[in-house]
Structure 1
Amino acid sequence: MKRRIKVLQLHPDYNIKSQDFADLGEQIFHALPRERFETVNAFLRGRPSAGQPVSRAERSVYFGFTDAQLKGMRIRAMWHLYRYCRRERFDVVICNRFKPVNMMLMLNRWLKIPLCIGIAHGFGEYDRAYRRRQTAGLVNAAWRFVGVSPAVKQYLLDCRCGFTEQNTVAITNAIDLVQAEALQLSREQARAELGLSSDVRLIGALGRLVPVKGHVYLVQAFARLATKHPSAQLAIIGAGREEKRLQQEIERLGLQGRVHLLGFRENALRFVRAFDIWAMPSLAEGLGLALLEGMSGHLPVIASDVPAMKPLIEGAGGIAVMPGDVDSLASGLDTYLALSAAQLRDRGEQSYRYLSVHHDIDVFRQQYLDLIESSLPEVLA
């Protein structure tokens, strides 16, 4: 009987959610049949508190490194990770984001793990020249790299530091639609739980309240339409350091009662059907997972045409706007708000059909399984 292939997935932080409909790491584990793969999930920082969810991997490891231990030379963290991997003798290590990738690039010179996969979730990780030089000197035949969208893959290739057409692929994020739709409340239930009126046309957004998400431009764009569309309201689900600034902007523009900052909501996807229009005004995104979440709720989408999202918006028949451009965003919102309820529903169904065809979770899982199997012939023999 063949031994099982031993797979470690390494994350910078503990980040397991109670639902994994859109969790890239957990969906990779879904792709690996237990009779053939032994799976371990590891986190450099953080660990679950009592009652918090754990990974579906067979084992979870929490290294518990501090921020200080993961800066600079990281000697203690590197030595601890090296000893752990040497003892466990993994066949595959999957690294999420720059820090785990960088650490394993250095350590695998000695560990000689047959296959290492580095996943890039966005842009900018290799902008610094010294990072590109270091990476170029460490990439070898054991490595494969994944961009979470074609745009992220192209970013990696353009860095010219060891990422090539031969070792780099795009595997676009997907959503488990069956699980996602089972979570979603009805329009009436969602609005009731959020404390929102049942008889308004509602623009919705979901995301951390940080500058890169562009929520301030959404608020400003809505202000230009508030008088023209008196039955329209805007609601944003999320928390973050921009909350005070957004609240001040809402007050400055006289939008109290028309714009709602709803704060953090556990399993926020439950509320997606509360909205009539889904907005994502980000200034930059690696993929724009929240955009897919809006599509899963059968909603028409309006979003910034940053490289990672533009193909999704166009495929879904949505409205693409210039990032950070209030005029463009206001014009797009006005177009949607001028449609009848039936026309909006038709646009939402077009969005959902695109998602179900082009971001199928089974395809996502199969692509990761194929990547591992095609890259490990000596282990599978």
Structure 2
Amino acid sequence: MKRFKVLQLQPDYNIKQHDFADLAEQIFKALPADRFETTMAFLKGRPAPGQPVSRADHSVYFDFSDGALKGMRLKALWQLYRFCRRERFDVVICNRFKPVNMLLQLNRWLKIPLCIGISHGFGEYDRTYRRRQTQRLIDGHWQFVGVSPAVKQYLLDCKCGFTDANTHAITNAIDTDQAQALQLDKAEARTQLGLAQNVRMVGALGRLVPVKGHTYLIQAFAALKDKYPTAQLAIIGAGREQARLQAEIDRLGLTGRAHLLGFRDNALRYVRAFDIWAMPSLAEGLGLALLEGMSGRLPVIASDVPAMLPLITGAGGEVVKPADVASLTTALDRYLALDDAALHAKGEQAYHYLNQHHDIDVFRQQYLALIESGLAAKEPK
């Protein structure tokens, strides 16, 4: 039996030691090895000695410079064209805008039977020239995936070749069994993070950049610091906002009560250090960190942005307005006022929702079905 050759194209090397939330790797897990030969290719970066590699049959590192991937990208396009022409792939899966855009241009000549473009968030097609180019290049070889219903709707609303026939929502998922096996218990997680044991701990995970909304979370927590004197706040992540956020913590009198923990490798290990999980983002494509909090059986608070609203309401969590300190304060107050049993029950509700609606097996089955149906449609009648 012929093995179909599948290429997955990534903008950057980003393989993690554990793949519970690495959805590119999870797609390859969906493909039976006796029917598919897989290649993972990265436009930029490569693993250092000892770093993990993809589970694909083959890994390719183009090592393009930043400059080579800007503007016309002619050299990079030529190298990618020669590679794909030589390998004669049956399927190419492109993650994020740049790989999608490059294959849209190249497949006019390559004629790869099935190309799948995955959009992980909003804004990729906001620019008029991008929409015009995309509309000109989309043809019958292409299918598209948004990582949530909201991202799919964004693509459709762009009106540049994305249609209900060629655009799908396959919601991001998480391997809860693997995630739970990695998580430390509460006491050990707090010890390793240097946090106090006998407190109510509000936690957040994400890059320290403005779009993650951490400044509003800090301000909301400050409004409740006297009402709940044993409560604390901790944020795992690093980024350009760290100094400004630390200054805000000091200004609000939260020294010793609010903690910026910096970057932590395999941060999911520490989820159970927290009692409440907050995600006050101003925008998200889906927000895997929200699913990670649910996997730790934590009650969740998240912003009313299109990609997260159905998740947070389905999980029975607290919905807040983006960049709104008052609504964040109210949500935190509701959870901090609960006794341990009631808070635990809210966490169990979130975990049950995660298993019911973001099951990794369903995610894999949906991608396998998309690929199989796409290939079947290309077979000679």
Task: Give the corresponding residue for 1:106.
Answer: 105
Aligned-residue Cα RMSD (Å) equals 0.8
Question: In structure 1, what is the Cα distance between the partners aligned to 2:11 and 2:187?
Answer: 39
SS at match of 2:269: helix
SS at match of 2:139: coil
Alpha-carbon distance, 1:292 to partner: 0.2
Deviations 1:115-167 (A, max 9, x none): 00000000000000000000000000000000000000000000000000000
Give the gaps of 5 or more residues in structure 2: none
Does 1:291 find its partner at 2:316? no
Task: Give the corresponding residue for 1:126.
Answer: 125
Task: Give the corresponding residue for 1:198.
Answer: 197
Alpha-carbon distance, 1:68 to partner: 0.4
Task: Give the corresponding residue for 1:260.
Answer: 259
**Which amino acid in 1 is paired with 2:85?**
R
**Which amino acid in 2 is paired with 1:199?**
N
Task: Give the corresponding residue for 1:346.
Answer: 345
**TM-score normalised over the length of structure 2:** 0.99
Question: In structure 2, what is the Cα distance between the partners aligned to 1:281 and 1:110?
Answer: 45
Deviations 1:200-222 (A, max 9, x none): 00000001111100001100110
Q: How many residues align?
A: 380
Question: In structure 1, what is the Cα distance between the partners aligned to 2:234 and 2:6?
Answer: 42
Question: In structure 1, what is the Cα distance between the partners aligned to 2:257 and 2:58?
Answer: 47
Alpha-carbon distance, 1:339 to partner: 0.4
Task: Give the corresponding residue for 2:211.
Answer: 212
Question: In structure 1, what is the Cα distance between the partners aligned to 2:376 and 2:359?
Answer: 27
Question: In structure 2, what is the Cα distance between the partners aligned to 1:261 and 1:372?
Answer: 43
Task: Give the corresponding residue for 1:226.
Answer: 225
Does 1:177 find its partner at 2:176? yes
SS at match of 2:52: coil
Task: Give the corresponding residue for 1:6.
Answer: 5
Moved over 2 A (4+): 378-381
Task: Give the corresponding residue for 2:37.
Answer: 38
Task: Give the corresponding residue for 2:166.
Answer: 167
Alpha-carbon distance, 1:378 to partner: 5.7
Give the gaps of 5 or more residues in structure 1: none
Question: In structure 2, what is the Cα distance between the partners aligned to 1:266 and 1:188?
Answer: 19
Task: Give the corresponding residue for 2:279.
Answer: 280
Question: In structure 2, what is the Cα distance between the partners aligned to 1:52 and 1:208?
Answer: 22
SS at match of 2:238: coil
8 A contact 1:91–1:379 mirrored in 2:
no
**Which amino acid in 1 is paired with 2:253?**
G
Question: In structure 1, what is the Cα distance between the partners aligned to 2:99 and 2:303?
Answer: 30
SS at match of 1:80: helix
Task: Give the corresponding residue for 1:24.
Answer: 23
Task: Give the corresponding residue for 1:356.
Answer: 355
Alpha-carbon distance, 1:343 to partner: 0.4
Question: In structure 1, what is the Cα distance between the partners aligned to 2:187 and 2:368?
Answer: 40
Question: In structure 1, what is the Cα distance between the partners aligned to 2:172 and 2:79?
Answer: 31
SS at match of 1:119: strand
Does 1:82 find its partner at 2:108? no
Question: In structure 2, what is the Cα distance between the partners aligned to 1:226 and 1:325?
Answer: 18
Alpha-carbon distance, 1:377 to partner: 1.0
Task: Give the corresponding residue for 1:366.
Answer: 365
Question: In structure 2, what is the Cα distance between the partners aligned to 1:245 and 1:145?
Answer: 39
**Which amino acid in 2 is paired with 1:349?**
E
